[in-house]
Amino acid sequence: MAPADADLLVVCGTPGPRLGDAIERVWSQVPAPRARADVGSADGARDELDRVPHRLRDATGAGHACVSPATEEARPEPGHGTVASAHEVQAHEVQAHEVQAHEVQVDEVPTHEMSGHEMSGGHDMHMMHVGEVAGLPMADRAPDRDGLTLDVLQMSLGPVLSDWPAGLVVHVTLQGDVVQTARVEVVGEPGPAWDGSPAASALDGLAQLLGVCGSSTAARTARRLRDDVLAGTVDSAVLHRFARRLHRSRTLRWATDGLGRLDDGRPDLAGDATARWLRWLDTAEHGGPAPDAGRAAAAVTALPGLVEGRELASVRVVVASLNLDLDALVTVPR
Amino acid sequence: MSPVQQGPLWTVLLVPVLLGTLALCGAAFARILEARADGRRISGVVLAAPLAESGRLLVQQRRTVVASDRFLARTGVVLVPVAAVGAALVVPLGSTAASDLSVGIVWFNAMEIVMWAALWMAGWGTNSVWGLVGGYRFVVQGMSYELPHMFALITVATGAASLSVADAVAAQDGLWFVVWMPVAFMAFLLSSLALSFAGPFDTATGRDVAGGVLAEFSGVDRLLLLAGRWLLLAAAAAMSVPLFLGGGAGPLLPPWLWTVLKTVAVLGVLVWVRSRTATVRMDRFAEFGWIVLIPLTLLQALVVAVVVVSRGTSMGGM
């Protein structure tokens, strides 16, 4: 879920220059031993992924130029190994002595004495120093909506993040973990819009939403069902059981109820996050309209208004509940 | 059933081994549930996955963030498994406890509180917004689960008229506490998940904040945090047995085996719940904790107190 947890970076498609930069930064944060696979098009994907375990085995770390947090939920072709199994292979076969040479830390900066003192002061730090620490600007303060004066953090969500539409960037101003303002941007080259099964798209969106909501087992099932739908081997009884289970899940409703409510707009975005994922379940089971460019555009336009004033976690749920297909966006609305 | 006694000193060394084995079993069971959701076959690879993952983390490069407070962060990281083993010291296996403290129940609770500090330090120390948010989330979560948890422990102590775990086991001779303290038992199980920041109470390490406290840790640091979380869940499951399920009491089998069987059953239920639920949002859980759980556990404590007083049990031990 973060670069720290990855040993494999898989880049699917051709990122544009800005998305490429983001990918390089993520790659620089992946701890060794690591490997990277650049999968240009779907045609060579299987071969490229098959080569990955060997590359991981040979990976001695540092020198390689590689990229981002592996999308750890590999999208295995039916009958093929998953990235998870690549992890396991690697765990056994990397020799300890190979790694010792790389204990130097990736992001280490020569400021030990600062990191010891400046940061341990906790509250003092915020009161006393507004300047720089290790070359980075300190957070400034500003009044928040409750009339308190809190640290203001500028931060960008995306463009690469797990369970997140690749290329979407939400620039947020945080106080505490509450989003005060948000600005949306889209980076990367648009690819062809999804023209496959709407059911697969719905299940894919569902998998991301479930992942963000911490329902990891259900997210796994959603991914499996999505792959089954794409392969045309889906068992409708299994799908039905899955849908019924989600319908009954109180904790999932607790996680999504009342978030991202859109009432005056397109019917396929209407309601809160819960209403939207319930519609996806319906689409997954009984089919439904294919998502079109208008939906993604409307969702991106509405997004800042939906997340301002919300807790950081809610931002993730709101974004996931829109199931954005950014490739369907031809022009970026501002 | 023979009363719980203090074991010889070497049994202390056994605690981390047994707890680690139990934690591995729990982690393996979680992997089995995951494999089933994936539609994968349950094989040796799945069962060995927790060990393989540990191996992967052992050889992985450690990393830090610019200007992070490494002392604070690493102290927090190390404290998580240490607190878990510390908590397990007072759990009797059958009729032997590595440490039969006269205030064992309080000791167990104190180790959990160490967890609050540990996780917050690990999150704050990384100098990352994700870690910071995760660390604070755990503190908020603590505010919501800790009071019901303490009331559940107090209910047991009231029923046993003692703060010693051995006395709690002895007091259940004939009638297990779970029978007349079901609310306290449920509150204890819920808070077991919460204190080991396992789903549905995993907001501190949530995927929505890129792993929260875990976000910037790799290698050994990450291993200690993840292992510590499983050790904590195992310790809490083990503690539920002497507190509510009669300790080693049971027919035919030896007491130590009954303890193990009950512990594994409780752990299995916890892991299953963990895999079936979505993360509970902090604001919702705070509401539930304060408006529903606290009054319910207080009421439970009151009922038990009234029963104890009306039975005329000697309160000399308190």
Q: What tens digit of pLDDT does each residue of A152-161 get?
A: 778 888 788 8
* Eight-class DSSP state of A14: -
Residue A85 pLDDT > 90, yes or no?
Answer: no
What mean pLDDT comes out for the span A146-171?
Answer: 81
Q: How does A238-258 read in b/e, with b if 16+ C-beta sit within 10 Å?
A: ebeebbeebeebebbbbbbee
Residue in this structure with the two tokens 């590689």, named with its chain if needed: A66
The Cα–Cα gap between A280 and A273 comes to 11
pLDDT of residue B2: 60
Is B105 or A54 the better-scoring residue by pLDDT? Answer: B105
pLDDT digits (tens, 9 = 90+) for B18-53: 889 999 999 999 888 888 888 788 888 888 888 888
For testing contact with chain A, the best of B277, B280, B288 (most A CBs within 10 A): B277
pLDDT of residue A330: 54
**Partner residue facing B52 (CB), from A29, A92, A103:** A92
pLDDT of residue B266: 94
Full-model pTM: 0.79
Is B149 or A57 the better-scoring residue by pLDDT? Answer: B149
First to last CA, chain A: 30
Chain A to chain B Cβ contacts (< 8 Å):
189
CB contact under 8 A, B66 and A135: yes
Most confident of A87-91, A122-126, B162-166: B162-166
Most confident of A296-310, B199-213, B230-244: B230-244
Distances (CA, A) of A221 to A194, A206, A208, A216, A250: 21, 10, 12, 9, 18
pLDDT of residue A104: 32
Put simply, the chain A residues between 263 and 292 with a CB less than 8 A from any chain B CB are none
First to last CA, chain B: 24
Residue B313 pLDDT class (50, 70, 90 cuts): low
B302 at interface of A, judged by CB pairs closer than 8 A: no
**Partner residue facing A114 (CB), from B34, B67, B208:** B67
- In chain A, count of helices (H) and strands (E)? 13, 8
Chain A residues near residue B207 by CB distance under 8 angstroms? 1, 162-163, 211-212, 214, 216
Chain B residues near residue A172 by CB distance under 8 angstroms? none
Is A318 or A121 the better-scoring residue by pLDDT? Answer: A318
Residue B288 pLDDT > 50, yes or no?
Answer: yes
Q: What is the DSSP string of B79-137?
A: HHHHHHHHHHTT--BTTEES---TTHHHHHHHHHHHHHHHHHHHHHHTT-HHHHHHHHH
Is A119 or A220 the better-scoring residue by pLDDT? Answer: A220
What mean pLDDT comes out for the span B231-260?
Answer: 87
Cα angle A36, A39, A40 (rounded to 5 degrees) comes to 135
| B262 in Cβ contact with B241 (< 8 Å) | yes
pLDDT of residue A114: 33
Which SS3 state, helix, strand or coil, does residue A311 take?
Answer: strand
Work out the minimum CA distance from A117 to partner chain B, whole angstroms. 8
Q: Please report which helix (H) or strand (E) contains residue A198, including its range.
A: helix A198-212
Put simply, the chain A residues between 110 and 169 with a CB less than 8 A from any chain B CB are 111, 114-116, 118-120, 122, 133-136, 153, 155, 161-163
CB contact under 8 A, A251 and B279: yes
Lowest-pLDDT range, A281-295, B47-61, B192-206, B257-271?
A281-295
Beta bridge partners of A142: A150
Residue A282 is encoded by which pair of tokens?
């319906």
**How much is the ipTM here?**
0.80
B127 at interface of A, judged by CB pairs closer than 8 A: yes
For testing contact with chain A, the best of B40, B61, B288 (most A CBs within 10 A): B61
CB contact under 8 A, A212 and B207: yes
pLDDT of residue A309: 83
Lowest-pLDDT range, A33-37, B71-75, B266-270?
A33-37
What mean pLDDT comes out for the span B235-244?
Answer: 91
Question: CA nearest A32: which of B66, B226, B57, B126?
Answer: B57
The type of residue at A211 is G
Chain B residues near residue A311 by CB distance under 8 angstroms? 282-283
pLDDT of residue A251: 83
pLDDT of residue B1: 52
Instruction: Give the rounded percent of residues in chain A with a pLDDT score beyond 90.
Output: 0
CB contact under 8 A, B63 and A92: no
Chain B residues near residue A108 by CB distance under 8 angstroms? 64
What mean pLDDT comes out for the span A28-47?
Answer: 79
Going by their DSSP bridges, the two strands A8-12 and A35-39 should be labelled as: parallel
Residue B307 pLDDT > 80, yes or no?
Answer: yes
The Cα–Cα gap between A197 and A110 comes to 53
| B90 in Cβ contact with B101 (< 8 Å) | yes
pLDDT digits (tens, 9 = 90+) for B107-135: 999 998 898 889 888 888 887 878 888 88
The Cα–Cα gap between B15 and B17 comes to 5
What mean pLDDT comes out for the span B285-304?
Answer: 89
Mean of pLDDT over chain B: 85
With helix as H, strand as E and coil as C, how does A135-177 read? CEECCEEEECCCCCEEEEEEEEECCCCCCCCCCEEEEEEEECC
